[in-house]
Every structure is written in structure tokens, then in C-alpha cells.
Amino acid sequence: MKTSLTSIAVALCAAAALARAPNYDEAKVAPYSLEDPLAFADGRRLKDASEWPARRKEILGIFAREMYGQPPPAPEKVVAELREEGSTLAGLAIRRQYRMWFRADKSGPFVDWLLVLPNRIAGTFPETNDVRVACENREKAPVVLMLNFRGNHAVLDDVEVPLTEGGWFRDDGSGGRGQKESDRGALRRSQSRSTVPAEYIVSRGYALLTACYAQVSPDVEVKKGDPEELAYTHVFELWPRRDESRTDNTTALGAWAWALSRGLDLVERIPEADAAKSVVTGCSRLGKAALLAAARDERFAVCVPNQTGGGGVPLAKRDFGENVSTEMAMFPHWYCRAYAKYIDNEQAMKFDQHLLVAAIAPRALLVEGFNNGWFDAKGEWLSCRAASPVWEFLGKEGLPKGEFPDNYDSSCIGAHLGYVRRGGQHGISGYDWRWMLDFADRVFAR
């Protein structure tokens, strides 16, 4: 049975009884004004590029207080243990599996990372499945970093990847919950609406590092349980107890973004990986996490948030599709309590998502949108357009000029900032991967 996304959105809203119904009528979008990314909150305009770090810090402070909560503290120590290594993808790649802890004594929560490294010698692929030979000869590869929804075993069709451990696992829509043998390689199946095409990624010369987001912070929706009870477990156990008198406690989105930075810590230790050439990506809520991670952590060279939805790239003050009311009603653990004051009151916001987008400048950002009302593709493009002056101010090319591009029209993908959208189903598709790696290739070739 085919279900349209609009009907999913309607069902979600019905479940969240208190949510304001989304607006899907352009004519009903009320006028709104956006803050100037190049002026401090007190109205003073930035004199020159030397003032950008201070403005960026101010922007990140606003998002920490008002929306995503305070960033989690740095880990006591990152301990990454290589647990398994072998040849995979019929010799095209090397598979490595690490378990990561955040305390020196390896107590407490852990996250399992799967690394897929291109198995190549000077641009060609060796005629051997022997990991040692391949490892000794490898060039440094740029790395794509992402969290996945369904476990590392869903990324590769490889019996050496164990079912991802952990308590809560996402319902796959078939009524099942938890890690299942039948999910092995699910993200590589041609009928899957989301794909992580490991073969394609390594053939393009990129390594892939991924972990399952449920191991970081479990993510139940309001209609299925108490999200807050589950979310603030796992890596939250590392941090001081939540202070319920505060309105800016760390959120699940903040935890996922933090985990992406820990993935980059690991990349920095992998001799065959080039940590200066990292691409952070993710789809939907995990696209929001990728965006937040890159905004907060300047080590990410390229960010490609995919189909982020409300609370990600699209403008909030433009009332179209998902709104603060639906976001808070369905996913209260993604945002901090302070954000609730903008329910039905977005115009009171002294910030909007274009500022988070701008916090990535002058690094490279390609926003991959989704032409669906709930996800407000136009609001994504407008957000990029409003952030673009920051790239120009910092001496880079901004968003290519022109009207809101059509689906699949890549003319709005610039050298450092780009926007592209597509139709079809919600998920990260082959198109998205191609746009992403073409963009990253151009960035890294400079």
C-alpha cells in the first residue's frame, strides 16, 4: 500500500493532539523578517571577516539556549578498540569495526563504529583480499561520516557485522522492533527508499564511517511512548544529571551531533583516512544532527544535510509544513524546553534556521532538499539564500543566483554553498549520493 507523506504528516499530527495543523498554502504564509547574519544581536554590523568568529559564537549560543540545548561536555577520553577487520564488498573494501567508549576505564556507554575503507593502491584496486597487503599500500581516503537508523548490519550485507547491540531500536514500519537478521544489508537493497551505497562510495574513493543513532540516544516518538524517559539514557549517562530547573538542557539532537564529532575523533586516528577531508551527512532527523554537528564542530570540512525537515534547514518563521507546535508535540526530546515558547509564536523568535546554516561558513555546505510540503523545500532554499551573504563576506562564492530551482535541477549547487532538491520518496537516494560526492570532489580538488 502506498502512503503519501502528507497523510503520514496528518496522522502524526493527529497523534500529537496538541499540535497546530501545518499550513500548506503559500498564500497563507504571513510576512516575516529574518535577522541579519552579519550583524550582532545588538544590531552592530560586522566590520570585517575578523569579527565572524565572534558572531558565529553568538549564533551557536542562541541555538544552545533556545533550541538544541547546551552542547554536551567533551568526553573524559575517547577509547576506540578495533574489534574486527576483514575484506568486504568482494574485495573492493576493507571492513573495520571499532567499539568506542568515553571513559579511560571503558566503563559506561559505548558506540560501535563500522568503517568501510576503499581497498586501493594508487587509484586501482588490488587483486587481493588480503587486508594486510591492501592496508600497507593505501592512500589516505576522504571520509563520509553518518549515523544510521537501523544498525550497522543494515549498511553492509556482510555476516561479519554483528547485529548492532543496544536496548531500543527503531520500529521499521512493519510492526517489528529491534535488530533483525532480516535487516542485514537493508540499506543496499534496490527497493529501499533510503540507501547507503557502500560500493558506490568506496568506488568513488571515499571511506564510510557509520554508527547507529539508537546506541547514542534512543528515539521513541510521542505516540509510541515517553520519548524523554528513553532519550536521556545511553551517552547521557556520561554527563551531569539533568537540571530540570533549566530550559536549555542537552537534547537528543545535541547528543547525536556530539557522537558525529566522536566519529571524527576516530577518523583522526585512522592512518588511511584523511580527517581534513570529512563529509558529514545524514537523512531527516539525522540530517538535522549532521547540520548541528558541522555548525558546532569546525573540523567537518563538508556538510550535506539531507531532507532535514522542520528544525533543520527550513525557516521556522515561514509558516509552511512542519511547525514548532508539531515538532514539540511529536519530538520533545529533540529540542530544549526553551523552544516551547515559540509554539504558535514563531514570529517572536530572534533567530531562524538560516543562522545555523551560516554557522558552517566558510566551509562547504550542500543542502539536499525534499519536494514535499511537510519538509518545506522552498523554506530550505530561502534559508540557504539568507545565509549566503556570510560566504561572500568571508571571500567565498555564495549560493548561485536564480529562482527556486526545480526538482533535480543542480544549477543551484555552487562551489561552497549549494541547494538541490528532488521528488520521490523520503530518504537518502542514489541521486543524493551522487550530488554529495560530486560536490565533495570539487571542494577537495581545490
Given the rule CB under 6 A, which residues bind ligand GCU?
284-285, 309-311, 322
Which helix (H) or strand (E) covers residue 144, if one does? Answer: strand 141-148
- DSSP H stretches of helix in 16-138: 52-66, 131-137
Nearer Cβ to ligand GCU, position 118 or 309?
309
Measured from the CB of residue 157, what is the shortest distance to ligand GCU in angstroms? 24
Nearer Cβ to ligand GCU, position 151 or 310?
310
Measured from the CB of residue 76, what is the shortest distance to ligand GCU in angstroms? 31
Contact in structure between 414 and 398 (CB atoms under 8 Å) = yes
Which grid cell is 5? 507523506
Q: What angle do CA 446, 117, 295 make, to 5 degrees?
A: 55
d(CA 221, CA 12): 10
Burial class (CB in 10 A: 0-12, 13-18, 19+), 85: middle
Measured from the CB of residue 310, what is the shortest distance to ligand GCU in angstroms? 5
d(CA 111, CA 96): 14
Measured from the CB of residue 424, what is the shortest distance to ligand GCU in angstroms? 15
Pairing outcome for strands 302-306 and 364-370: parallel
Question: Rounded to whole angstroms, what are the CA distances from 118 to 88, 226, 267, 269, 272?
Answer: 10, 41, 14, 17, 9
What is residue 353's DSSP assignment?
H
Nearer Cβ to ligand GCU, position 50 or 174?
174
- DSSP H stretches of helix in 4-130: 5-15, 52-66
Nearer Cβ to ligand GCU, position 141 or 283?
283
Report the sign of the C-alpha dihedral through residues 376, 27, 66, 221, in that order. negative
Nearer Cβ to ligand GCU, position 21 or 82?
21
Measured from the CB of residue 285, what is the shortest distance to ligand GCU in angstroms? 3
Which grid cell is 330? 511529536
Residue 116, SS3 per DSSP: strand
Measured from the CB of residue 169, what is the shortest distance to ligand GCU in angstroms? 15
Q: Which residue has the cell 528513553?
A: 230
Measured from the CB of residue 402, what is the shortest distance to ligand GCU in angstroms? 27
Nearer Cβ to ligand GCU, position 110 or 334?
334
All residues at 6 or more sequence positions from 179 whose CB lies less than 8 Å from its CB, including other chains: 151, 153, 163, 164, 165, 166, 169
Nearer Cβ to ligand GCU, position 88 or 148?
148
Measured from the CB of residue 315, what is the shortest distance to ligand GCU in angstroms? 14
Nearer Cβ to ligand GCU, position 89 or 357?
357
Measured from the CB of residue 383, what is the shortest distance to ligand GCU in angstroms? 14
Nearer Cβ to ligand GCU, position 166 or 311?
311
